[in-house]
Amino acid sequence: MRKLLAIALTGGLLVGMLVPAQAKPAQVFEDIAGDAGNQDSGVPGFDQLGFDLIGGTIERKGANLDFTVLHAAMPPVNQPPEKVRFMWGFAVDGTSYRVTVKSADVGKPNPVAQSDTDRIGKVDPQGFFRLEGDCGSQVVGALQAVHCPTIGYLTGAFDAAAKTISFSVPLKLIKAKPGSVISGGGGDAVSICAICWTTHVGERSLNTTNIDSAAQSGTYKIPK
Amino acid sequence: MRKVAALLAAALLVGSLTAQTASAVTAGPSPGGMSSDNVEWLSHIPLSVDGVGGRVVDGYFYTNDQHKVMIFDLKDPVNPQLVGQVLMPQEWLYSREDIDTNGKIMVVPNTVTASADLQPSAGTNAAYIIDVEDKANPRIISKVVGGAQHTLSCILDCKWVYGSDGIIIDVRNPLKPKLVDKEWGEGLPAGGGHDVEEIAPGYVLTATQPIQLLDVHNPLKPKLLAMGRNTDGRFIHTGRWVDLNDKFLLMAGETNNRVRCNETAAAFMTWDASTWRKTHTFNMIDEYRMVNGTYADGNPAVNQVGCSSHWHEAHPDFHNGGIVAAAFFEHGTRFINVTGTGKIQEKGWFMPAAGSTGAVYWVTDEIVYAVDYNRGIDILRWKG
């Protein structure tokens, strides 16, 4: 009996190790330092502008998932130019979403759909953290443009001292629940990149101009 | 991080070793990039996406990018305030250059869509007329479908508009602009090119090959007054002339998509304009090109948009020579001295971090706005 209990415990432990429900921040991607520039070839200065990805974690905090992205350096918010944006495509139990982060923005409609007009007329020197889903792409002239409709705007922060950007995604917005698995995204949520800093051109053409890219190799199982 | 520290240390070292340069200045890092010690990076406005166009008129800086036209109040030129904007989606990959205004109306082409004002229209391009008298509430008041060319330039206080490739738009009634059934280049050696610029009321310098000075007092019947030609037929991108009596035309070419510099890269040029009234000709005097370097020496090892000159502007005090601020993409802003004989010497520079500078504008006699495709707007102080 004791032997059976030990086997059962061991089995349970192994299963738990395969897909553990993590209560602490889980590292889900890593990227080498010094490769920010032109398509992951390092160019001096790009790291100091906060484009050099180092790694990322996910952690449940109450009704939210907190995503944190560590960089080699991070200037204060509104220093990274309006032209660039950080993107992270992830999936919740197989359904893909994307978060787009900018540190400065003047509102405009989506260039492809001429929709998403919620930001028109707004000047936001503090940028935004935007949750997007149901991504698609379409051919516009000679370009294949990616369009991810907005689901909602998130709470987030640029932290120059910690060299991070972080944002909280409400579980409700991504239809996640305890036990849901957060993995790398798929489809057009990651057709520009899985995780990257990229220019606006990335959204306009799948011939992208990414500055620094990474891939989510780890998964995160939402704990109770 | 260690790599950056090493680069910055190398920058200081190399700067001290390159004291034999014409400017005898040393390099130094700043949060904005690297600069010679007579150029100070002051601050940065990140609000611009592939911006390049601009114009300083009566205390305001008008600038555009792919999505919008912005108006900045220049009461404090080192801390300009965004007071108005017009949403104008959308150019796909690059915004329009050298936008023009008289402070009352602004002329902005869009070469991709005639619906940039969000009003559906047939056609694939349009010239937009924007009322900018109320700086806080600029608004599109009319458009000319099919009236866009690479650049559109005001003629005779924006009563007329010349397109870079020859079109003429009658804007005497800005609410009802008309595309004229005639081109300004008809019968001229060059019927179009990259840009035109009104040097003085009724006189236009064309950035074409050959370069032309036109009398456009009758904008429908321009007269050729003088011209100059490069024997190699190079592309002419920019033409500036501080006034009709100055000895020098300030010209530049453009060579995109060249990641390395060489002797065929586009140059900033001086042209002799001292005798045009007698000879009706302009002749090139000198030319100046960028070279690749080590970043630390103010020259990028490789270029992104290209090793090339682009837009430039003479210092407000330029007269038969003086300082010109010139944009050279990844080489940033170069401060160039034109001697009394038209020879060119570089005197200072600012190479932006992760930047590609498209155009530069003197806001005062020491403050320069460098409009950068990547970064937005860098505010620089020229210390001479």
What does the radius of gyration of chain B's CA atoms come to, in whole angstroms?
A: 20
Residues of A in contact with B373 (CB under 8 A): 83
pLDDT digits (tens, 9 = 90+) for B252-306: 999 998 889 999 999 999 999 999 999 999 999 999 999 999 988 999 998 988 9
Q: Touching check for B50 and chain A: CB below 8 Å?
A: yes
Beta-carbon count within 10 A of A120 CB: 13
pLDDT exceeds cutoff 60 at A4: no
Q: Touching check for B233 and chain A: CB below 8 Å?
A: no
d(CA A161, CA A76): 9
Q: Touching check for B304 and chain A: CB below 8 Å?
A: yes
Per-range mean pLDDT, top range of A116-125, A199-208, B237-246:
B237-246
Q: Quick one: fold of A21-221? A: Immunoglobulin-like (2.60.40)
Work out the pLDDT band at B49, boundaries 50, 70, 90. Answer: confident
Half-sphere CA count of B367, side-chain side, radius 13 A? 17
pLDDT of res. B71: 96
Residue of A nearest to B124 (CA): A141
Residues of B in contact with A43 (CB under 8 A): 354
Of how many residues is chain B composed?
384
Instruction: Indicate the residue type of A41.
Output: S
Query: Does the predicted interface ipTM exceed a cut of 0.85?
Result: no
d(CA B205, CA B273): 12
Spacing of C-alpha A43 from chain mean position: 23
Contact B46 A201 (CB under 8 A): no
The better pLDDT of the pair B12, B34 is held by: B34
Among residues B277, B265, B211, the alpha carbon closest in space to that of B238 is found at B211
The better pLDDT of the pair B18, B110 is held by: B110
* Range with lowest mean pLDDT among A208-212, A219-223, B348-352: A208-212
What residue segments make up the domains of chain A, in order of their start? 21-221
pLDDT of res. A125: 79
Q: Which of B7, B52, B90, B125 to mutate to test the interface with A (most CBs of A within 10 A)?
A: B90
What residue segments make up the domains of chain B, in order of their start? 1-53+230-384, 58-187
Q: What is the pTM of this model?
A: 0.86
pLDDT of res. A139: 78
The better pLDDT of the pair B189, A201 is held by: B189
Superfamily of domain B58-187: YVTN repeat-like/Quinoprotein amine dehydrogenase (2.130.10.10)
pLDDT exceeds cutoff 50 at A49: yes
pLDDT of res. A8: 42
* Range with lowest mean pLDDT among A198-202, B30-34, B333-337: A198-202
Q: Greatest CA separation found in chain A?
A: 71
**Distance from A184 to chain B by nearest Cα, in Å?**
28
pLDDT exceeds cutoff 50 at B141: yes
pLDDT of res. B109: 93
Q: Touching check for A46 and chain B: CB below 8 Å?
A: yes
* Range with lowest mean pLDDT among A112-126, A205-219, B75-89, B100-114: A112-126
Q: Touching check for B345 and chain A: CB below 8 Å?
A: no
Q: Are B238 and B312 in contact (CB under 8 A)?
A: yes
pLDDT digits (tens, 9 = 90+) for B320-355: 999 999 999 999 999 999 999 999 999 999 999 889
d(CA B147, CA B108): 10
Distances (CA, A) of B80 to A87, B75, B186, B306, B379: 31, 7, 42, 30, 10
Work out the pLDDT band at B26, boundaries 50, 70, 90. Answer: low
Contact A111 B82 (CB under 8 A): no
The better pLDDT of the pair B203, A43 is held by: B203
pLDDT digits (tens, 9 = 90+) for B50-103: 899 899 999 999 999 988 899 999 999 999 999 999 887 666 666 789 999 999
Query: From the list B92, B295, B355, which residue is nearest A204 (CB)?
Result: B92
The better pLDDT of the pair B210, A201 is held by: B210
Q: Which of A78, A108, A112, A128 to mutate to test the interface with B (most CBs of B within 10 A)?
A: A108
* Mean pLDDT of all residues belonging to chain B: 90
pLDDT digits (tens, 9 = 90+) for A130-163: 999 999 988 776 677 888 989 999 999 999 999 9
Report long-range pairs for B169-174 (Cβ below 8 Å, ≥24 apart): B169/B107, B169/B127, B169/B144, B171/B105, B171/B107, B171/B129, B174/B105, B174/B129, B174/B131, B174/B141, B174/B142
Of how many residues is chain A composed?
224
Residues of A in contact with B376 (CB under 8 A): 81-83, 104
Work out the pLDDT band at A1, boundaries 50, 70, 90. Answer: very low
pLDDT exceeds cutoff 90 at B5: no
Distances (CA, A) of B194 to B70, B165, B205, B308: 24, 7, 11, 15
pLDDT of res. B96: 85
Residue of A nearest to B112 (CA): A141
Q: Touching check for A83 and chain B: CB below 8 Å?
A: yes
**Distance from A198 to chain B by nearest Cα, in Å?**
11
Query: From the list A42, A120, A143, which residue is nearest B87 (CB)?
Result: A120
Percent share of chain A, pLDDT over 90 = 56
Percent share of chain B, pLDDT over 70 = 91
Contact A114 B31 (CB under 8 A): no
Q: Which two tokens stand for residue B279?
A: 């000879």
Half-sphere CA count of A89, side-chain side, radius 13 A? 24
